[in-house]
Amino acid sequence: MIQTLFGSLDEQQKPSFLDRMKEAVTRTRENLSDRIEEVVAFSKEIDRATLDDLEATLIGADLGTSTTHEVLSKLREKADRKQIKNVDELKRLLKEELLAILAAANSQPVQKVDGTPEVILLVGVNGTGKTTTIGKLAQVFRSQGKTVLLCAADTFRAAAIEQLEIWGERTGTEVIRTKAGGDPSAVLFDALQAASARQTDYVIVDTAGRLHTKTNLMAELEKMRRTAQRIIPGAPHETLLVMDATTGQNGLQQARLFTESAGVTGIVLAKLDGTAKGGVVVAISRELGLPVRYVGVGEKPGDLLPFDARDFVDSLFA
């Protein structure tokens, strides 16, 4: 109630009104699909239990309730229209549905100007695997014969700089660094100047993990972006949100807020070598149109793969 002093009352009323609108629409849609479900008579093979199984699979893979329900209600429509009779065919249709969502998210990185370095910024919450991903990315580019410079802009977490330096050694890449606690934008400035002078092909920038709810830390990312733009036109060309494959529905909120502050252009789904399916990226693709660029599948330098939507969708049902 005190917050009205700062005008936040007006600010918060608008979204909450919109939220309510959205909620109303969603409810209508849910009711509608419920009704469709009642009307559509499924053949004996595709019964309630089959759909429940599919629902459990999708929710169990972290797609979230709204994405799952939307996908399944589309599936019902199609199944009815095409007179689908068996379960395998239904599954195939479902996979198509998911692939269509992932394919629709195809935003491209900003084209770099010839003769200047391509700048890749990695962001994400704490402990998702940013530094490890950078090491592996450096390996990818090095193996293509490109020159790479790493920028240690995580000056906050204990030994983050040392960790990146070890990856630098492993991949034969130089690391531009400052002292712990230094200004991340300052070290970014130095790295980009150095890269411009040397005409390096890629600069990969490590940032400190931060929870997307910390407004001040998110503002720091905006500042880093402005710094990058001042030195190299169009930079950062690619901003990758590194997401832990075990992340649940909070991943959506991460993607939303990091995109707001840091202009995320794609996702790296890390730690996909465990049992987590990482299905939240489907929800992210659907809501925000952000594509997955790479998946992390281990701790070795070679354990970074380009994202293959078909493999990914298959793995959801494995």
Q: How many CA atoms lie within 13 A of 306 on its CB side?
A: 3
Residue 60 interacts with another protein (CB under 8 A): yes or no: yes
129 contacts another protein (rule: CB under 8 A): yes
Q: Is 293 in the site for another protein (CB under 8 A)?
A: no
Query: Is there a contact between 307 and 292 (Cβ–Cβ < 8 Å)?
Result: yes
Return the number of the residue (58 or 290) whose C-beta is nearest another protein: 58
By CB under 8 A, residue 128 contacts another protein: yes
Position 246 contacts another protein (CB under 8 A): yes
Q: By CB under 8 A, is residue 244 in contact with another protein?
A: yes
Among 15, 172, 233, 289, binds another protein (CB under 8 A): 15
Tell whether residue 163 is a contact of another protein (CB under 8 A): yes
Nearer of residues 12 and 143 to another protein, judged by Cβ: 12
CB 15 to another protein: min, Å = 6
Q: How far apart are CA 260 and CA 152, in angstroms?
A: 23
Look at residue 152 and give its three-state secondary structure. strand
Of 117 and 251, nearer to another protein (C-beta) is 251
Residue 46 tokens read as: 């595709």
Q: Which is nearer to another protein, 138 or 235 (CB)?
A: 138
Our measurement of the distance from residue 98's CA atom to the centroid of its chain's CA atoms, rounded to an integer in Å, reads 16
Q: By rule CB under 8 A, what string of x and - marks binding of each residue 88-117 to another protein?
A: ------------------------------
Stretch that binds another protein, among 12-20, 76-84, 147-155, 188-196 (CB under 8 A): 12-20
The rounded distance, in Å, linking the Cα atoms of 304 and 269 is 10
Q: Is 129 buried (19+), middle (13-18) or exposed (0-12) by CB count in 10 A?
A: buried
**In the block, which residue shows the tokens 């998911």?**
98
* 142 interacts with another protein by CB under 8 A: no
- Interatomic CA distance for residues 298 and 132, integer angstroms: 9
Stretch that binds another protein, among 7-15, 91-99, 232-240, 306-314 (CB under 8 A): 7-15
Q: Report the C-alpha dihedral over residues 137, 141, 144, 149, rounded to 10 degrees.
A: -150
Give me the residues paired with residue 121 across strands.
205, 239
